[in-house]
């Protein structure tokens, strides 16, 4: 499957009371890169017809990130069936390559007008392959 990645730098706004990246920020980054991946490769027409919603996040935190660290974020779709797909997001320290977290998120595809689940078409599957 096609991977999408980016690097970001931890700022003061990302930190919790322990001066580590806040767990809520990690969830935001997971959602952000998922959306960016979709918007980069899906046509505007497809994006007008359907929307994705989260069904389940499963996150395993491995190591903490701190102020000023560069984080490499990678994502890809690992599987899809019917109206759902599973997206993997992994984050690493961009210098040491140490794993910060791994997440597995189940997404459901909805018709943008009816907001009802809709089967993932071959055209949409091609967006990620």
Q: What is the mean pLDDT of residues 90-98?
A: 98
Whether residue 128 is predicted with pLDDT greater than 90 in this model: the reply is no
Q: Confirm if 20 and 64 have CB atoms less than 8 A apart.
A: yes
Buried b (16+ CB within 10 A) or exposed e, 5-37: eeebebeeebbeeeebbeeebbeebbeebbeeb
**Whether the predicted pLDDT of 32 surpasses 90:** yes
Taking only the tens place, the pLDDT of each residue in 63-87 is: 999 999 999 999 999 999 999 999 9
Per-residue pLDDT at 1: 59
Structural domains in the chain plus CATH codes: 4-127 (3.10.129.10)
pLDDT band (50, 70, 90) for residue 15: very high
Summary mean pLDDT of the chain: 96
């Amino acid at each position: 499957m096609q991977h999408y990645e980016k690097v970001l730098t931890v700022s003061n706004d990302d930190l919790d009371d322990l001066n580590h990246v806040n767990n809520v920020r990690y969830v935001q980054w997971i959602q952000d890169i998922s959306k960016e991946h979709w918007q980069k490769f899906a046509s505007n027409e497809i994006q007008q017809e359907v929307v994705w919603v989260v069904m389940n996040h499963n996150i395993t935190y491995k190591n903490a990130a701190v102020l000023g660290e560069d984080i490499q974020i990678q994502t890809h779709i690992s599987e899809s069936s019917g109206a759902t797909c599973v997206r993997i997001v992994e984050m690493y320290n961009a210098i040491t390559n140490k794993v910060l977290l791994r997440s597995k998120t189940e997404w459901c595809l909805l018709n943008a007008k009816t907001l009802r689940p809709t089967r993932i078409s071959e055209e949409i599957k091609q967006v990620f392959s």
